[in-house]
Amino acid sequence: MKTKKVSVYEVVTQRIIDFVEQNMELPWMKPWATVDNPQQNFHSKTMYKGINMLLTSMQGYSNPYWLTGLQVQSLKGMIKKGEKQTPILYWSPKEKKSKDEEEQDDNDKQNIKFTLRYYGVFNAEQIEGIEFPTLELPTHEFNPIEEAERVIQNMPKCPRIKRDGSSAFYSPFPDSVTVPKPELFESPEEFYAALFHELAHSTGHPTRLNRFKEEGDDHKFGSKTYSKEELVAEMSSAFVLNTLGINTRKSDINSAAYVKSWLKALKDDPRMIVYASGKAEKAADYIMNKEAVNVLGK
């Protein structure tokens, strides 16, 4: 059976779609700081522009330096196990063969065509054995919000929380939440909005509300249940923040992405908002350790 060849356009489009679905925000907008240095190839010093700047910066790495696999090898480095490459696009000249060889010399300029191609690069944070320059990120004064920290400390079966990542996410295995350093966020409110969003995801774990099993699939990107889960996490975070009296601009920052993301889903399933709000309320109650919460999520 012949396998359909995937075009460069499909690769890039899918990469951006995956980013929006995973992060539920526009790829050029983050509530935490990244380095001001432009994304670039560490070996050639080439600065990435246009779509390549977008593709590299939206990965969320705090280090702006990138290398191809061959460049890593030439510098005696090693790519960490399990790391995936990021595509870099370029136009490659391709000469179209002329049917009449005698006329080829006269039509060289007209026969030159360009084909869009791509190659893969790895970020410095994905590489071992190479010493990259130490870069300082722009930071903000961080004053912990006592009420929020108290909620986190008292959350039942709270997952392991790492506050030094390059992006924000929840990993069902090994049941841990990762967020960037608090000082990298524009405000403490933005930090807790991101943290409570990921903690809301963690309530779906079998040891807590068991929401993932209840949905019947693994919440694959683009699936209907994945969209519901993201809406549950966002609403749950908002419920916790509102209960604590914490105001944040997070909803304003991501409003464009959320409106586009949920409009079709809500039209296709008018019950989604009611479903999500009910699950979000249970998740928020669990995070805040309210006595009325049933640990089995029934």
Of 103-107, 131-135, 264-268, the one with minimum mean pLDDT is: 103-107
pLDDT(37) > 80: no
Helix spans in the chain (H)? 8-23, 50-57, 69-74, 101-104, 108-111, 146-154, 188-202, 211-215, 224-244, 250-268, 272-287
- Rounded mean pLDDT, 29-58: 78
Note the residue count of the chain.
Answer: 298
Q: Look at residue 2 and tell me if it is in a domain.
A: no
Q: Look at residue 8 and tell me if it is in a domain.
A: no
pLDDT tens digits for 172-205?
Answer: 888 999 998 899 888 999 999 999 999 999 999 9
Question: What is the reported pLDDT for 119?
Answer: 93
Q: Look at residue 83 and tell me if it is in a domain.
A: yes
Helix spans in 37-167 (H)? 50-57, 69-74, 101-104, 108-111, 146-154
Q: Look at residue 259 and tell me if it is in a domain.
A: yes
Would you say 124 and 37 are in contact if contact means Cβ atoms under 8 Å apart? Answer: no
Q: Look at residue 199 and tell me if it is in a domain.
A: yes
Question: What is the reported pLDDT for 294?
Answer: 42
| Domain boundary residue, one of 128, 163, 195 | 128
Q: Which of 26-30, 106-110, 276-280, 284-288 has the largest mean confidence?
A: 284-288
Residues 116, 84: one domain? yes
Count Cβ neighbours within 10 Å for each residue of 116-130 and write b for 16 or more, e otherwise.
Answer: eebeebbbbebbeeb
pLDDT(76) > 90: yes
Question: What is the reported pLDDT for 289?
Answer: 94
Of 8-12, 155-159, 218-222, 293-297, the one with minimum mean pLDDT is: 293-297
Residues 152, 266: one domain? yes
Question: What is the reported pLDDT for 32?
Answer: 63
Residues 118, 152: one domain? no
Question: What is the reported pLDDT for 38?
Answer: 80
Residues 122, 152: one domain? no
Q: pLDDT above 90 covers what percent of the chain?
A: 34
What residue numbers bound the domain in which 231 lies? 146-287
Q: How many domains would you assign to the chain? A: 2
Q: In angstroms, what CA-CA distances link 103 with 95, 100, 108, 112, 113?
A: 14, 6, 9, 14, 17
Q: Is the pTM of this model over 0.85?
A: no
Per-residue pLDDT band at 95 (split at 50, 70, 90): low
Residues 241, 199: one domain? yes
pLDDT tens digits for 210-263?
Answer: 988 766 555 544 455 666 788 788 888 888 988 888 876 544 434 444 545 555
Q: Look at residue 14 and tell me if it is in a domain.
A: no
Question: What is the reported pLDDT for 65?
Answer: 94
Residues 84, 152: one domain? no
Per-residue pLDDT band at 23 (split at 50, 70, 90): low
Provide the residue type at 2 as one letter: K
pLDDT tens digits for 109-153?
Answer: 556 677 888 999 999 999 999 999 877 777 788 999 999 999 999
Q: pLDDT above 70 covers what percent of the chain?
A: 65
Question: What is the reported pLDDT for 133?
Answer: 87
Q: How far is CA 232 from the centre of its chain?
A: 17
Q: Look at residue 76 and tell me if it is in a domain.
A: yes
Residues 83, 171: one domain? no
Q: Look at residue 44 and tell me if it is in a domain.
A: yes
Question: What is the reported pLDDT for 21?
Answer: 54
Residues 98, 175: one domain? no
| Domain boundary residue, one of 95, 128, 161 | 128
pLDDT(166) > 60: yes
